[in-house]
Amino acid sequence: VRGRFVVDADKSVSHRALLIGALARGATRISNLLDSEDCRATRRAIRQLGVGVRETGDETIVSGRGLRGLAPAAGEIDCGNSGTTMRLLAGVLAGQPFESTLTGDVSLSRRPMDRIILPLREMGARITGSEDSRPPIHISGGDLTGKSHSLPIASAQVKSCLLLAGLLASGSTSVSEPAASRDHTERMLGYFGVDVETDGNRHTVRGDDQPLGREVTVPADISSAAFFIVAALLLDGSDAILPSVGTNPTRSGALEVLRAMGGQIRLLDERLLGPEPVADVQAGRSRLEGALIRGEIVPRLIDEIPIIAVAATQASGKTTIADASELRVKESDRIAAIVAELGKMGARIDPRPDGMVVDGPTRLRGARVDSHGDHRIAMALAIAGSLADGKTTISGAECIRISFPGFVRLLPRFAMVDVDE
């Protein structure tokens, strides 16, 4: 894994640039917007709500309609596989004076929505899901009242949903969470001129604080970078540079853990790209030791746990991951998926209700494995396959397009890859 690996743009930041751009007054020009299936779902959704979105070269221009300028969608809004699209949009639509229906694919239709439905109702929203609060979601938007929310779990999607609803509510709305989750919404709102008050893990916005359109450049996604950082740590002769990767501390727990495991990772040229910190990340072959991962760091590396589990199979000693039961309600049950599939490759890995235990190091062997329809599982298995003896075949790998379409262009730089359509 040598040389420069330019990974795709940040998915979370891309969703927020589109959505906050839609609610802004004036134009938002976005450079390096991620063009993945999830972000296409958000782009389609805001277009359905009457927002102009144009692509010119590397720029996407969103013609914001202001907080109260959206138009009702003709028909349902299909959020595809994207929990971020559904949950953030639900907050926005709860405060619009029209009806909306949000649907999703099979995976999204299994994911819990009570975590947004119940607090939005407390703000006066008329919103329902299926009998057990799964999608599709029906919203009869209208007047909302600001409220102080205390979330039982750290979730950036829920926090962002409620803060966006707060912009449409009377009075102030605050959200506190038990540990810090990614703060891209707070940063982006602040960058668009909204006054977001932050006190520890509590964030407050006021109704009708109108965002103003701006220029945004999206950093490379640390969650996508993590696959190649881990590959560089594990494959002999590696020395890789990944330029302009987002290093927001609410996202970079994986770098902390991999370093604590012995990973040679350096941040070069640390700087700000608009509201987000970035750096060029350098990673090289390292000897890893097992680690204990639990507590407040877990929300800061939640999406990187599948690839951390791959790293743990090559580390000496035991790696224990706890306090991560949220993994069970991601695009797949990621605890069950990664344990089952790495197990097929010879890893010593056991599930726990809230995480897993990996015993390393083990020599992985190529196997027929399955993505469980989950992009991060597919990519973690591809990196595991590049370490393993023999051939690994990943079925359902097309879901990689959900977050990181460029992955299949970078992987052949250090692994032999056949793509079978």
List interacting residues with ligand S3P (CB under 6 A). Answer: 12, 84, 155-157, 160, 181-182, 302-303, 326
CB of 326 to ligand S3P, least distance (A): 6
Q: Which residues does residue 15 pair with via DSSP β-bridges, in sequence order?
A: none
CA 360 to chain centre: 28
Tokens of 32: 């390096």
CB of 84 to ligand S3P, least distance (A): 4
Task: Name the residue among 297, 84, 294 with its Cα closest to residue 179.
Answer: 297
With both helix axes pointing from N to C terminus, report the angle between 156-167 and 83-94 in degrees, rounded to the nearest 10: 20
CB of 89 to ligand S3P, least distance (A): 12
CB of 317 to ligand S3P, least distance (A): 27
Nearest-angstrom CA–CA distance, 392 and 284: 24
Q: Is 119 left (phi over 0), alpha (psi -120 to 50) or beta?
A: alpha
SS3 letters across 89-139: HHHHHHCCCCEEEEECCCCHHHCCCHHHHHHHHHCCCEEECCCCCCCCEEE
- Is 303 one of the annotated active-site residues of the chain? yes
CB of 139 to ligand S3P, least distance (A): 19
- Closest CB to ligand S3P among residues 78, 303: 303
CB of 331 to ligand S3P, least distance (A): 8
CB of 361 to ligand S3P, least distance (A): 28
Residues 6+ apart with CB under 8 A from 228: 1, 5, 7, 240, 242, 283, 410
Residues 6+ apart with CB under 8 A from 276: 10, 13, 184, 187, 219, 246, 248
Nearest-angstrom CA–CA distance, 151 and 158: 8
111 in Cβ contact with 87 (< 8 Å): no
Q: Exactly one of 105, 303, 333, 370 is catalytic; which is it?
A: 303
Residue carrying the six token digits 């409220």: 147
Q: 30: helix, coil or strand? A: strand
Task: Name the residue among 144, 250, 150, 162 with its Cα closest to residue 205.
Answer: 162
Would you call the peptide bond into 353 cis, given omega within 30 degrees of 0 as the criterion? Answer: no
Nearest-angstrom CA–CA distance, 162 and 172: 11
- Closest CB to ligand S3P among residues 191, 414: 191
Nearest-angstrom CA–CA distance, 246 and 183: 12
First-to-last alpha carbon distance for the chain, in angstroms, is 26
390 in Cβ contact with 374 (< 8 Å): no
172 in Cβ contact with 194 (< 8 Å): no
Tokens of 368: 């027929």
CB of 404 to ligand S3P, least distance (A): 12
Hey, which residues are catalytic here?
Answer: 303
